[in-house]
Amino acid sequence: MTDFLDINTTPPEALRSIIDNALAMKSARKGQPKGTPDAEQPLANHMVALIFEKPSTRTRVSFDVGVRQLGGQTLVLSGADMQLGHGETIADTARVLSRYVDLIMIRTFEEQTLVEMAEHATVPVINGLTNRSHPCQIMADIMTFEEHSGPIKGRKVVWSGDGNNVFNSFAHAAGQFGFDLTFTGPPTLDPEPGSLDEARSRGVNVTIERDPAKAVEGADLVVTDTWVSMHDPASARERRHNQLRAYQVNEALMARAKPDALFMHCLPAHRDDEVTSAVMDGPNSVIFDEAENRLHAQKAIMRWCLGV
Ligand code: CP
Ligand code: NVA
């Protein structure tokens, strides 16, 4: 039994087997109604807690559906309705939940909450997004890239916008999957340097280029995300928009990438802020495949965590 807390702390061979398993499970159930149980039911008799301290559409629904397809049952819990961190310590909640459920997925604010949960739970814990990372999303993104464009190793990924939690997981993935990563955005919203240095130490090119037009040259994949994340104060909205406007992904920017470059966004997107509708709905966009692949990737992650 193993936690899935971050991409940089999961062995590369495990990451590869998760992607391969996700692709195989996706293809095995192609065309079937969504509620059809998988041929294998490795989560039969398993109870999974899905805890949300922040809003979610994709993570909530894809985990819930994924557990059911694998034969398990879910409890979807709102952090606000629990004693999490205020009525009792995270450690005590972790110990208690471990007596009721076989697996815990948590979306929370501080990374420390996730770490404490994992440390004190006696069942595997999965990171469903923190202020610092979003590893399940990037596993789905790697899967999506490889479905459309082949192996990601050695390819060029460009992130335009805020150096946020989703970017951080891309930096983790660059080192583990061996792709080059360019960040383009204003210096005030740079990603944390530690993740960039760690990826570089694993032998990949990680660069910061302030000019978005230069940054996307030769890109195989262009990615962006919301300019204001759930943990950012609402009061920062106007300042962030002013700083990030030049980094919008639009058709002019996409035209500078490779002609077959993919466009990704973890969603939810703010149409015509960080990305134009023309790009989101255009021929290079794979955003809804990304969303679908959350389901398949997370099923493979849960199986890996439980060793089933
Ligand atoms: N991309 C993603 O995690 O979406 P939700 O916030 O809707 O779960
Ligand atoms: N960066 C975004 C991702 C949402 C899935 C946030 O943290 O709000």
Condensed to tens digits (0 to 9), the pLDDT of residues 120-161 reads 999 999 999 999 999 999 999 999 999 999 999 999 999 999
- Protein residue whose Cα sits closest to atom 2 of ligand 1: 58
- What pLDDT is recorded for position 290? 98
Strands 221-224 and 206-208: what pairing?
unpaired
Please indicate whether residue 69 is annotated as part of the active site: no
Reply yes or no on whether the pLDDT at 1 is more than 90.
no
Q: Is the pLDDT of residue 55 over 90?
A: yes
The residue whose two tokens read 């002609």 is: 259
In single-letter form, the type of residue at position 42 comes to: P
- Kindly report, residue by residue over 194-253, the tens digit of the pLDDT: 999 999 999 999 999 999 999 999 999 999 999 999 999 999 999 999 999 999 999 999
Cα of 28 from ligand 2 centre, angstroms: 31
Does the annotation count 294 as an active-site position?
A: yes
Above pLDDT 70, what percent of the chain? Answer: 100
Higher pLDDT, 85 or 244: 244
Annotated active-site residue in 137, 243, 248, 298: 137
d(CA 115, CA 129) in angstroms, rounded, equals 12
DSSP assignment, residue 138? H
What spacing in Å lies between the alpha carbon of 85 and ligand 1's midpoint? 23
pLDDT category at 110 given cuts 50, 70, 90 is very high
pLDDT higher than threshold 90 for residue 86: no
Indicate if 225 belongs to the active site.
yes
Query: The tokens of 102 are what?
Result: 């076989």
- Nearest residue (by CA) to ligand 1, atom 4, is 58
Q: What is the pLDDT of residue 249?
A: 99
> Counting ligands in written order, which one lies closest to the CA of residue 267?
1
Whether 58 and 88 have beta carbons less than 8 Å apart is answered as no
